[in-house]
Copies of this chain bind each other. A is one copy, B any other.
Amino acid sequence: MYVAIIGFGVVGSGVGEVIKKNAGSIKENSNVDLELKHILDIRDFQDSEFANLMTKNFDDILNDDEVKIVVETMGGVNPAFDFVSKCLAKGKHVVTSNKELVAKRGYELLSIAREHNVNFLFEASVGGGIPIIRPISRCLAGNRISEIAGILNGTTNFILNKMIVDKMDFADALKLAQEKGYAEKDPTADIEGHDACRKICILASLAFGSHVYPDGVYTEGISKITLDDVECASELGYVIKLIARTKMLDNGKINIMVSPALVSKSSILAGVNGVFNACLVRGDATGDILMYGKGAGKLATASAVVGDVIDCASNCEKRKFFGWGDEKKDFIEDYLKAETSLFIRAKATEGAAEKAKAAFGCDVKEKNGEIVFITDVKPESELRKKLEETKLETLSSIRVTDY
């Protein structure tokens, strides 16, 4: 079966490599023949082993009826959306690793795929080579998912881990991440949580059946986390992680949020170190399930893409029943209504400890001119209001999870 690749960057060239190298074992393990026919990229790759397949003309792919499966690994929404939607409308299966595309235009593309009876698959868009999308989609068979929580961005997890383990400060840890190639020159999308937000939107859409767009999701990054936060949290038995999470509420709405959060050291999520990712799924029948692994990397991501390609090839005449519906109005609950507890650090001004104790009724520790405490679980708005009323000089307030 002929395959074309759109976008020959890190992941796209990895897909080329994996298909070429593993054609034999793919045939043996999955009983499908895969062959690359075209690769679209605006750049020149004259020295590549795939030079003879390169094209700069999208129509070479679109109008080639022999090409049944198209891999989109160019990233970004435009022109990826245009290319993907045209391929689907021409009856070609499309596999992508492009989380921005899926998070922002997934429902439209899934609808076009349904209309033309082809598959639009994107396992690699969340968690690189870790199987996440498919297990979640499978979990839905005979199981109601109530909650998903993930460490979905390796760059921020690497930075936080360096702060926790090596007591490096944020700026130095970011610099190291850049030197190691884990963070981009402009790291905004990672450290401000936008990347994690796209991923949790994809998972929420899949788990809860309606497209959840990133625009509506409260997103907070890790750039304000200090070494003091990390150390105080550690003394209380927690590590700080960037957690992307969503939860189905009794009122039929969902909580969805990306923010730094305290995770108990006894939680399996606390053991997710370095650039690793993990996704915890809470189901009514299965209980907590976690998938863990490297969330990025050329070959890991490429192998997830190729897994989807094989799935398309094995089910070429039949569309998988997979995807979600249109956005629901007022589906996302105001994040301040979500129940949480807060970790608070404040200056130990006169009477601060007493004020905190009186207002929140919890243990308050004093150390190095600061007070530190963790509140009970309440709606966040209530906690914030109370905190304001205490007039404490708050240094940081970070949500605490119960995973």
Contacts and interface: CB of A to CB of B under 8 A. Distances in A.
Interface of A: 18-19, 22, 25-26, 29-31, 129-131, 134-135, 138-144, 266-268, 270-273, 276, 283-294, 297, 299-300, 302-304, 306-307, 310-311, 314, 318, 321
A64 B187 CA distance: 62
Given A131-B135, A141-B310, A289-B292, 6 more contacts: A22-B143, A142-B307, A270-B271, A285-B300, A287-B300, A290-B292
- Give chain A's interface secondary structure class: mixed
A286 B294 contact: yes
Contact of A131 (B131, B272, B276, B287): B131
7 contacts: A29-B321, A141-B303, A266-B273, A268-B276, A270-B271, A286-B294, A292-B292
Question: How many subunits of this chain does the assembly comprise?
Answer: 2
A303 B286 contact: yes
A314 B138 CA distance: 12
Contact of A138 (B300, B307, B318): B307
A271 B268 contact: yes
A143 B22 CA distance: 8
B141 A29 contact: yes
B286 A129 contact: yes
Contacts of A306: 141-142
Nearest to A313: B141
Q: Which of A131, A311, A314 has the most CB of B within 10 A?
A: A131
Contact of A288 (B18, B141, B294): B294
A160 B29 CA distance: 38
A149 to B, nearest CB: 13
B293 A288 contact: yes
A213 to B, nearest CB: 22
A29 B19 CA distance: 31
